[in-house]
């Protein structure tokens, strides 16, 4: 009997030292469907897809494509079997043309030379076929994130892929760009291509998916038709418990003003201008706004990463000059950056090293050398405190899930004992269970008297976590509202304004 599935992964198991990442996992994907793969960070989603794409060899199990069992020892073999993977971290060759990025490693040749005319023509045909408006001759590094992603999809199509894995494809896209991506996905689906779609965004999953498979702790919980699921059902099945409350109860009581910003204007053109606000002791001040609002640029100036043309910053009533991260640290300010994999973690270092790296001076012995035993003990205490899932503090941080990496970064900065904590999209790319743990940490820090500025693009997060919400649009402050009384409509109305009334 012919199999109804294009892809069958049966009984897949994979172990790493100290961790059983996958246990007898089965995943069946029908042709011409979008099959969502969901689960908390560390559930095994990425490991399973890396087994499919030849980046890992499973310890046991079998893979079938169109009913035929296949061996996938490498990514090259996966491509030959019609399997492509578009990773969350897009890594084009930035200083080479788009068309070279598409055909890298398989340039059309005329004798000993690359046939650039044919390469241009083939790329143009490929883009036209997918309704993509991209110039094949521009350097890939000049493209927006959404255009780079479209280029990667076109590249996957050029391999005549039957299965395309998309890992968190919308994490850096605007609403309009998400719509454009969905249009491409629907076109591929109509051609019989199967999409395995990994995302933590519930609304997207329920909009674009045909079927949903949920994983937990290396096992498959089950597979359901997307139309039979709700956000609450998905959350319950992902975390194995009912999360009736998405946010912890706020017990902090904001006190006196600790930081005052007056008329801050960036030294860069087309950035933030004339922004004034106050931050109180023990307060969570949310920062909302659309893409291009210059929120990140504003808080990076508070940490000395960007320079100001004018304006003043006062801490405890005294004007201070913050022209470097070292100066910010001296004033007890810490910054958790938006792109943890790019500007947060040191991927080739261990959990221990990543934890203590911002406070090394505290772990030196009498002759000035690093006391590694003391540092490791502190790192172990932090992993226990934050319930960070890691085999040991000696594990490379790049091997941890996104949520656990974020916990290590929070621990790193809290070891510097900051008064003011700047959080830029602290739960981006993190599953709902880990989000709740991060929220609990933030709430507890505010209760202890830490002052927090939190940028978030997720409206429920802003409303659920903030005492007050400061909204920006096109580099200007458009309003500050009470977190307990504001609505999503209030935030969007302010985010769409061009000038403060």
Residue corresponding to tokens 């329920």: 206
Contacts of 48 (CB under 8 A, 6+ apart): 9, 12, 22, 25, 27, 37, 215
Domain boundary among 172, 207, 239: 239
Same domain flag for 227 and 298: no
Q: 196 and 158: one domain?
A: yes
The reply to whether 69 falls in a domain is yes
**pLDDT at res. 501:** 38
62 lies in the same domain as 165: yes
Q: Which residues contact 291 (CB under 8 A, 6 or more apart)?
A: 174, 457
Q: What range defines the domain where residue 195 resides?
A: 7-92+143-239
Regarding whether 200 and 151 lie in a shared domain, the answer is: yes
Residues 190 and 280 in one domain: no
| Residue 278 located in a structural domain | yes
Q: 59 with 194, same domain?
A: yes
The domain boundary, picked from 176, 205, 239, lies at 239
Does residue 166 sit in the same domain as residue 315? no
Together in a domain, 73 and 150: yes
Shared-domain flag, residues 164 and 306: no
Tell me what pLDDT residue 74 has.
94
391 domain residue, yes or no: no
Half-sphere exposure in the Cβ direction for 299 (13 Å, CA):
27
Tell me if 308 is assigned to some domain: yes
Please name the helix (run of DSSP H) or strand (run of DSSP E) that holds residue 195, with its range, or none.
strand 194-198
Phi, psi values for residue 100, rounded to 5°: -70, -35
Work out the number of other CB atoms within 10 angstroms of the CB of residue 87.
16
Same structural domain for residues 214 and 85?
yes
The answer to the question of residue 88 being in a domain is yes
Same domain, yes or no, for 230 and 314? no
Pairing of β 163-167 and β 7-16: unpaired
**Nearest-angstrom CA–CA distance, 390 and 41:** 12
Q: How far apart are CA 462 and CA 450, in angstroms?
A: 18
Each residue of 6-26: pLDDT tens digit? 999 999 999 877 678 899 999
- Count of structural domains within the chain: 2
Question: CA–CA separation, 419 vs 354, rounded Å?
Answer: 21
Encoding tokens for residue 78?
A: 């996966």
Boundary residue ending a domain (239, 269, 302): 239
pLDDT of residue 498: 54
Q: What percent of the chain has pLDDT over 90?
A: 51
H/E segment holding residue 491: helix 488-495
Would residue 338 count as lying in a domain?
Answer: no
Bridge partners of residue 19, in order along the sequence: 16
Whether the full predicted model's pTM is greater than 0.75, yes or no, is: no
Judgement on whether residues 167 and 300 belong to the same structural domain of the protein:
no
| Two tokens, residue 396 | 């490379």
Which residues lie across from 262 on neighbouring strands? 312
CATH of the domain at 456: 3.40.50.300
Which residues of the chain have a pLDDT value below 70? 1, 18, 41, 88-89, 171-174, 240-245, 429, 431, 498-501
Token pair for residue 344?
Answer: 């947060």
Whether 116 is in a domain gets the answer no
Kindly state whether residue 291 falls inside one of the protein's structural domains: yes
Residue 330 three-state SS:
helix
pLDDT in the model for residue 1: 61
């Amino acid at each position: 009997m012919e199999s109804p599935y294009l892809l069958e992964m049966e009984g897949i198991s994979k172990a790493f030292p100290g961790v059983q990442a996958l246990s007898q996992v089965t995943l069946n994907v029908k042709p011409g469907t979008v099959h969502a793969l969901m689960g908390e960070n560390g559930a095994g989603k990425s490991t399973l897809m890396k087994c499919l794409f030849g980046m890992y060899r499973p310890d046991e199990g079998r893979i079938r494509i169109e009913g035929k069992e296949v061996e996938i020892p490498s990514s090259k073999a996966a491509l030959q079997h019609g399997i492509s993977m578009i990773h969350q971290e897009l890594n084009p060759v930035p200083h080479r043309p788009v068309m070279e990025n598409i055909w890298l490693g398989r340039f059309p040749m005329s004798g000993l030379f690359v046939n650039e005319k044919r390469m241009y023509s083939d790329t143009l045909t490929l883009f036209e076929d997918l309704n993509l408006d991209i110039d094949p001759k521009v350097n890939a590094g000049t493209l927006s994130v959404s255009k780079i992603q479209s280029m990667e999809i076109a590249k996957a199509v050029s391999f005549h892929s039957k299965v395309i894995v998309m890992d968190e494809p919308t994490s850096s896209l605007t609403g309009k760009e998400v719509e454009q991506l969905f249009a491409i996905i629907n076109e591929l689906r109509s051609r019989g291509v199967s999409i395995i779609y990994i995302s933590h965004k519930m609304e997207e999953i329920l909009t674009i998916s045909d079927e949903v498979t949920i994983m937990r702790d290396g096992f498959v919980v089950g597979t359901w038709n997307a139309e039979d699921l709700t956000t609450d059902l998905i959350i319950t099945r992902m975390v194995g418990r009912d999360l009736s409350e998405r946010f912890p109860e706020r017990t902090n009581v904001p006190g006196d003003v600790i930081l005052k910003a007056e008329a801050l204007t960036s030294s860069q053109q087309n950035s933030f201008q004339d922004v004034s606000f106050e931050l109180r002791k023990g307060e969570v001040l949310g920062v909302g706004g659309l893409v291009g609002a210059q929120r990140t640029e504003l808080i990076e100036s508070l940490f000395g990463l960007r320079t100001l043309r004018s304006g003043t910053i006062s801490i405890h009533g005294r004007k201070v000059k913050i022209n470097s991260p070292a100066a910010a640290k001296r004033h007890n300010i810490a910054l958790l950056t938006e792109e943890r994999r790019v500007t947060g973690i040191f991927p080739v270092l261990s959990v221990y090293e990543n934890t203590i790296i911002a406070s090394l001076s505290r772990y030196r012995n009498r002759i000035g050398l690093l006391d590694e035993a003391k540092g490791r003990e502190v790192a172990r205490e932090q992993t226990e405190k934050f319930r960070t899932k890691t085999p040991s503090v000696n594990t490379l941080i790049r091997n941890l899930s996104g949520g656990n990496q974020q916990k290590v970064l929070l621990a790193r900065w809290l070891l510097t004992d900051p008064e003011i904590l700047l959080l830029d999209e602290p739960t981006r790319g993190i599953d709902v269970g880990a989000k709740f743990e991060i929220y609990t940490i933030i709430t507890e820090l505010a209760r202890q008297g830490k002052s927090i500025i939190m940028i978030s693009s997720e409206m429920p997060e802003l409303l659920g976590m903030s005492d007050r919400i400061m909204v920006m649009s096109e580099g200007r402050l458009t309003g500050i509202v009470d977190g307990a009384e504001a609505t999503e409509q209030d935030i969007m109305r302010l985010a769409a304004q061009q000038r403060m009334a």
